[in-house]
Amino acid sequence: MFEVLAENLLGRIGRLKTRSGRVAETPLFLPVINPVTQDVPASWMKKELGAEAVITNAYIISRRLREEALRTGVHALLDFDGMVMTDSGGYQILEYGEVEASPEEIAELQEEIGSDIAVPLDVPTGLSGREKAEETVEKTLRNLQATLSFLEKRGERRCLWAAPIQGGIHLDLLQSCARKEKEMSFDLFALGSPTPLMEGYRFDKLFKMIYAARSAIGFGKPLHLFGAGHPMIFPFIVALGADMFDSASYYLYAKDDRYMTEYGTIRVDKLDYLPCYCPICSRIDAGELRKLERGERVKLLAMHNLYVCFEEIRRIKQAIRDGRLMELLELRARCHPSLYQGFVEIMRDGDLLRAMEEHTPISSRRGINIYDGLSLRRPEIALGRRRLLQNCFTGRRHEGKALLLPETLRVSFEKASRIPEDLDMLFYGSPYGLIPLGLRYSYPFSQTNYPKTLLDECLDDLIEEAVKQLKAAGYSKVLIVAARSKALERFGRELARRLRELEIEVEEVEDIRELMKGRK
């Protein structure tokens, strides 16, 4: 039903196949469709945007369009022949209090109308306090049991069933809810995300919830996120482990005269230019957009907003294939200080970074860009360092001496062959620590780009990594060849100082030629 095709961080490209035989690629963005009034038709989304899936609300259908939906099925009702997910109506509980339906009724309706992905009636936690949150989790779990018993009695399932994970910002509660659901016979999971978090720009909390859910359910089954909001956070929620997500933002923003860009939102009355060349924006200018009659403007804005959302999904997929999802996060983190805060907290979460490291391939078709201390914490760097330490430095007592060369130095084969055999040539100044001569041109060491300012900014970290490697190898003596560039020269000097502090014998060498055999 779900096959992972490529991974980067906790994001993956996958292939989801429903019981009805419909197929979609993840990360999958599902626009929210109102079954009663919908300005932008779902059929348009499929034709113009290549939308593979949409989500609608089973509760609204049961109240307003029950007979028609039962007669025609949900796909005909929405005029959409891609994948249709139906939410149960739990959200209506959050908005309006109780819903007038039982878990069994909602389950039956979703099976009968032929939803591809269905959700049992849940009780959303929202931003509730602890006590209320516990209650919503209990009620949700009870509803899930009732739904499963009903489905069992009913016989063969037509829908894939998603277990809604509640608990909100109470992460222990959220995880215990998810772990219990993991033991039940659901096909996928769906995390309830409190909309107020998004509205209040509390992205840090949302990110923690996603990873908490993902780590509790494991990596086998897809995870959906309800209410993903603005496209600028899509790369983050994918990187944290959400495979699919829905959003009504394209329309809610449009109704509020807000124009989406991949890096933020601009109010229509403040737009002098349209910074986009989607089919909408390429045939109208900002002034014309403002002057449109409101209904038409909202519709065009919603369409443009959808283009922005789908464009970002493509960008994310390409980034996963290229092993560059982190670069996209670094870029998007600059969209808003709250997003940056969420990003910094991701990069400080050792447990999360280790999980990302496990799911990041050890090779990639594109290089790695490092900018600063934060990007130095990337899983690829940690992975490269760990492999270097284990494979090149640890466990074999190096009888000889280490010869440390500045990484800018070019060493020809002829030159290298004239260096005495008891000197192990290592290059200093790399984000990975010291790189042995034999690995100098292999991935990822030579495919990692970084500014010289990194040596300054992260001097302590880089020195400590080099010291760790040298200590693990147990060299009897370290020779350091001075660098010509100022930043590297300082690095060499600091490293020598630090090694002497540790009572390791150090010799500073002005020029590599001093060491060559048979020099004239």
| Residues making contact with Zn ion (CB under 5 A) | 276, 278, 280-281, 304
Question: Nearer Cβ to Zn ion, position 277 or 413?
Answer: 277
Active-site position among 39, 79, 81, 87: 87
Helices (H), 233-285: 234-239, 249-255
CA–CA dist 436, 426 (Å, integer): 4
CA–CA dist 388, 396 (Å, integer): 13
Question: Nearer Cβ to Zn ion, position 18 or 305?
Answer: 305
Q: What is the CA radius of gyration of the chain?
A: 28
Q: Determine the 3-state secondary structure of 255 from DSSP.
A: helix
Question: Nearer Cβ to Zn ion, position 190 or 274?
Answer: 274
Burial 54-88 (b: 16+ CB within 10 A, else e): bbbbbbbbbbebeeebbeeebbebbebebbbbbbb
Question: Nearer Cβ to Zn ion, position 166 or 261?
Answer: 261
Going by DSSP bridges, is the β-strand pair 23-26/11-17 parallel, antiparallel, or unpaired?
antiparallel
Q: Give me the least distance between CB of 198 and Zn ion, in Å please.
A: 22
Q: Give me the least distance between CB of 278 and Zn ion, in Å please.
A: 3
Say if residues 93 and 124 touch (Cβ distance below 8 Å): yes
Sign of CA dihedral 125, 129, 132, 135: positive
CA–CA dist 313, 316 (Å, integer): 5
CA–CA dist 177, 213 (Å, integer): 9
Q: Give me the least distance between CB of 286 and Zn ion, in Å please.
A: 11
Q: Give me the least distance between CB of 277 and Zn ion, in Å please.
A: 7
CA–CA dist 144, 103 (Å, integer): 8
Q: Give me the least distance between CB of 247 and Zn ion, in Å please.
A: 17
Q: Which of 378, 366, 237, 369 is nearest to 313 (CA)?
A: 237
Q: Give me the least distance between CB of 275 and Zn ion, in Å please.
A: 8
Question: Nearer Cβ to Zn ion, position 244 or 309?
Answer: 309
Asked about 87 being catalytic, the answer comes back as: yes
Question: Nearer Cβ to Zn ion, position 224 or 304?
Answer: 304
Sign of CA dihedral 491, 495, 496, 497: positive
Say if residues 487 and 451 touch (Cβ distance below 8 Å): no
Looking at the annotation, which residues are catalytic? 87
